[in-house]
Amino acid sequence: MGSTTGEFKRDANYIDTRITADGRDGYPVEPGRYRLVVARACPWANRAIIVRRLLGLESVLSMGICGPTHDERSWTFDLDPGGRDPVLGIERIQEAYFKRFPDYPRGITVPAIVDVPSGAVVTNDYKQITLDLSTEWTAYHRAGAPELYPEKLRGEIDEVAELVYRDVNNGVYRCGFASSQEAYETAYGALFARLDWLSDRLAGQRYLVGDTITEADVRLFTTLARFDAVYHGHFKCNRQKLAELPVLWAYARDLFQTPGFGDTTDFVQIKSHYYEVHRTINPSGIVPVGPDLSGWLEPHGRAALGGRPFGDGTPPGPPSAAEVVPAGHGAGVDPVDGIDGRDGGFEGG
C-alpha cells in the first residue's frame, strides 16, 4: 500500500481473535481442532513454523503449506495433490476467510489459523499467533520446550522486537515498495542504521535478549535469512550483503544451524515468491540463480559468547517427513539444481 509521499504503508489491521487456554474469544486451545496455514516463502509465516516446531506443537496443531506464489486473490494449496489442502478441502486460504467473513475487505494473508470443524479462519494476527503459541498452548508443549517469551524479559523482548519490525522486518519492504526516491532513501537509511545497531548489540552477546533464544531472535532471523537471496537485490537493500556484516552474518548462521531454524527455511520457494509475484519490481519474473548458499553451514564461532540456545530445555527433534524442506531447497546445495527443482504456484509475503 502506498502513500502520497511514496512511502510503503503496510495494512496492520488483522483479525484479532485469539485462541486461548480459557477460550474467552470462543476459541479454546484444543488438540487437533485447528490448522496453521503457512507458506514457507513468507517471513511472517516462517516465524510461526519455527515457533511451532521449537515448542513441539506438531501433534496438536496441524500445518497446511501453501505454494510459493499467488495471484491477487490469495495463496493456494498448489503443492498438495489436486491443489487442495487435505484437511480443509479447499484450494485457497481465501475460502476460510470468506467462511467467517463473507465480505472480508482486507488482504488474505498467512500465517492464518483455521478452525477445522467450521472451516473458518480464526486469526491472521501473525505477531500474536507466535506469542500465544508460547503462552496459551503451554499444556501441550513438548518436554524440554524453550521459553521463547519468558515473563521477566517480555518488556525488553517487546521493545527490541518493535524496533526490529519497524526498521528491519518491515523496513526491507519500505525500501522495496517505495514509490519515490526520498521515501526509499529514508527507509534505506533506517534499515542500515538498525542493522548497525543490531551488530553492536550482538557483538558481545549471543542472542538479542538474555542468554537464550527468544521470540525476538525468531522475528529477526526470518528477515536475515532472506536478505542476500532477495532483499539485497530485489528490494535494493544493497549497502552490504548480510555476508558482509560479520557479526550479523555469524549470528544468522548460528541460528540457521540450530534445529528449527535452517531446517524450516526454503530458499527456492523464497526466491520463487518474491521474484515471480512482484512483477512491478521484477517485470520479467526471472528468478536469479544465486547466491551461493553454502556459507550458511560454515562455522559461526558464536558459542564463545556463552549462552544456551534452549536454556534448561532441549532442541526439537527432526521434522516429520511431511514437513521436511524439499531436497535441494536448503543451504549447501548447487543453486542451479535448486532452481531446477523449485515448486510452482502463487503466493505473497
| DSSP code for 114 | E
Identified catalytic residue from 149, 173, 207, 275: 173
In the structure grid, which three cell numbers stand for residue 189, read together? 537509511
**What ranges in the chain are assigned the alpha helix state H?**
43-55, 94-100, 126-135, 154-164, 171-176, 181-202, 215-226, 232-234, 246-256, 267-277, 335-340
Q: Which residues are annotated as a binding site?
A: 75
Alpha-carbon distance 116 to 147, whole Å?
28
| DSSP code for 31 | T
Cis peptide before 316 (omega within 30 of 0): no
Q: Which residues are annotated as a binding site for glutathione?
A: 75
Active site residue 42: yes
Active site residue 173: yes
Q: Give CA separation, 136 vs 30, 56, 110, 133, 304, in Å.
A: 11, 14, 20, 6, 34
Other CB atoms closer than 10 Å to residue 299's CB: what's the count?
A: 10
User: 112-115 and 34-39: which strand pairing?
Assistant: antiparallel
Other CB atoms closer than 10 Å to residue 255's CB: what's the count?
A: 25
Classify burial at 336, counting beta carbons within 10 Å of its beta carbon; exposed 0-12, middle 13-18, buried 19 or more: exposed
| DSSP code for 20 | B
Give the active site residues: 42, 173
